[in-house]
Amino acid sequence: MESSEKPALHKLTVFRKQFYGFLFAVPFLVIFAMFFIYPFFSGIAVSFANRKGEWIGFQNYHNILFNTEFVYQADFLRGLGNTLLFVAISVPLLIVIPLFIAILLDIKPVGYKFFRALLFMPTVFSISAVVLMWKRVLEVETGFVDAALKAMGLGQIDFLGSQPWAWISLFVVTVWWTMGTNIVILGAGLKNIDKTVYEAASIDGASYIRTVFSITLPLLAGQIVVVLIMTILASFNIYGQPLLLTAGGPDRSTQVALMVIVNNLFDRPYIAASMALLLGLIMIAISLIQAAFARRGKD
């Protein structure tokens, strides 16, 4: 009789623990449902409707992608093209530069801890603070760079109001602001590499450059893939830098997809929802392709 009561008592104890754990998770689940699940499915529903809220199927998506007479198609495609341009240039910069710096810091030169903290510090700043600092540096007439150019007898450059300087400014600000996280991730991966591998390579006569390409990069592949995926997703979500630094100019040449979506959000939510979902699908497709290549490389 006692032996049959013990399993039942044990099951009751386990159930109580799971139930109490569920109760602790309920507030989070409610907030998650309110601010993520509901807006997500609500946005999907809105994208299949028109201004009056009537169901029109995939008409919004068709208009944005294929209807050249649709008023908002050109803006979205231009914004998407600018976003893709930003991703294509910023992602390699945010991989190569942090990797180079992480390898240098891994050698542990004099003051490496100070420089590591200094390089990571910009990531804790808000985008508004970052843009405010860089605007003071890059502004015409009053900026530090403009003053330096004048002191050297060079011509004046409108970094924020002319091309290609507006794009160059965006890349510089973005790399300066975000590369610290990638440096930390790649640096942590470098610390996990067994140093005896480098000693063996040195004994075999391998140069430092050869060890980097034959040992460091292959053994760091996992961290590089993680950084690559994170950086691409973050670059697709670019918004604050062009909004606050160049206001999408000059002539909307730096107006990215998210800026176009936000511009249509309040007056035409059904259009904005369709654009946002199209952008999200592109990001999901790229992430799946990256995951497939990473899995193949691992195999």
The 10s digit of each residue's pLDDT in 124-139 is: 999 999 999 999 898 8
* pLDDT computed for residue 1 by the predictor: 46
Over the stretch 85-128, which tens digit does the pLDDT of each residue have?
Answer: 999 999 999 999 999 999 999 888 888 889 889 999 999 999 99
Are 255 and 78 spatial neighbours (Cβ–Cβ below 8 Å)? yes
* pLDDT computed for residue 275 by the predictor: 95
Report helix, strand or coil for 55. strand
| Whole-number Å distance between alpha carbons of 183 and 191 | 12
* pLDDT computed for residue 3 by the predictor: 52
* pLDDT computed for residue 144 by the predictor: 86
Partner residues linked to 49 by β-bridges: 55
* pLDDT computed for residue 44 by the predictor: 92
What CATH class is the domain 69-298?
Answer: mainly alpha
* pLDDT computed for residue 290 by the predictor: 79
| Whole-number Å distance between alpha carbons of 182 and 168 | 20
| Whole-number Å distance between alpha carbons of 143 and 137 | 5
* pLDDT computed for residue 198 by the predictor: 82
User: Which parts of the chain register pLDDT below 70?
Assistant: 1-10, 297-299
- Residue 37's H or E segment, with its range, is none
- Residue 256's H or E segment, with its range, is none
* pLDDT computed for residue 185 by the predictor: 93
Are 250 and 163 spatial neighbours (Cβ–Cβ below 8 Å)? yes
Count of residues making up the chain: 299
